[in-house]
């Protein structure tokens, strides 16, 4: 008779575990973090390395325009005001199978005067961190290089845009 409460509690625990394990999510928690709102660009840091030489440059320090990256649950995305140039670029996004890389086909106008003027900044972006309120993506020469080769990496820092309801 003393074991009846213990058996009852164990049965409830087992039943709750079975019920919760059968629930299906439409996306992973990482996908849900990306698509849960608008991300505002706060910093862009360019790192150029070659051998022991490291050069840092902070971009986007005096841009009056908000740059917003929106990733939607249906796989579409848009970027507003890329490189502080008034524009809205649309595309699609997905995560790599291991969920370590963000892949997007967005084509944005950029401010590079010597180049073609268009770029795909997040075609293969490494996810450094992503959380409820912030995200950091790394693009550029992110694959392994020998230290004699020149390597340029751009680090984009975003914060979640606060939704104001009235």
Where are the alpha helices (H) located in the chain, listed in sequence order? 4-21, 29-34
Q: pLDDT tens digit string along 93-137?
A: 999 999 999 999 999 887 765 456 788 899 999 999 999 999 999
How large is the average pLDDT for residues 158-163? 86
Counting beta carbons within 10 angstroms of the beta carbon of residue 9, is it exposed (0 to 12), middle (13 to 18) or buried (19 or more)?
exposed
Q: What is the pLDDT of residue 157?
A: 94
Any residues with CB less than 8 A from the CB of 78 and at least 6 apart, and which?
69, 70, 88, 89, 90, 91, 106
| Region at 115 (left for phi over 0; alpha for psi -120 to 50; beta for the rest) | beta
Q: What is the pLDDT of residue 78?
A: 95
CB–CB of 43/155 below 8 Å?
yes
Any residues with CB less than 8 A from the CB of 95 and at least 6 apart, and which?
28, 30, 31, 34, 101, 102, 103
In the chain the domains, ranked by start, together with CATH numbers, are 26-160 (2.40.128.280)
| pLDDT of 75 higher than 80 | yes
């Amino acid at each position: 008779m003393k074991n009846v409460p213990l058996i009852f509690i164990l049965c409830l625990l087992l039943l709750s575990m079975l019920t919760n394990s059968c629930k299906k999510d439409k996306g992973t928690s990482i996908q849900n973090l990306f698509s849960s709102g608008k991300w505002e660009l706060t910093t862009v840091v360019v790192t150029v390395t070659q051998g022991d030489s490291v050069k840092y440059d902070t971009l986007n320090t005096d841009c009056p325009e908000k740059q917003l990256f929106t990733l939607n649950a249906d796989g579409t995305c848009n970027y507003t005001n890329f490189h502080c140039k008034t524009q809205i670029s649309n595309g699609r996004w997905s995560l790599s199978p291991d969920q370590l890389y963000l892949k997007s086909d967005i084509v944005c106008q950029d401010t590079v005067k010597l180049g073609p003027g268009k770029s795909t900044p997040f075609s293969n972006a490494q996810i450094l961190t992503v959380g409820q309120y912030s995200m950091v993506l790394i693009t550029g020469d992110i694959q392994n290089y020998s230290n004699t080769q020149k390597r340029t990496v751009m680090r984009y820092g975003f914060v979640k845009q606060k939704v104001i309801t009235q």
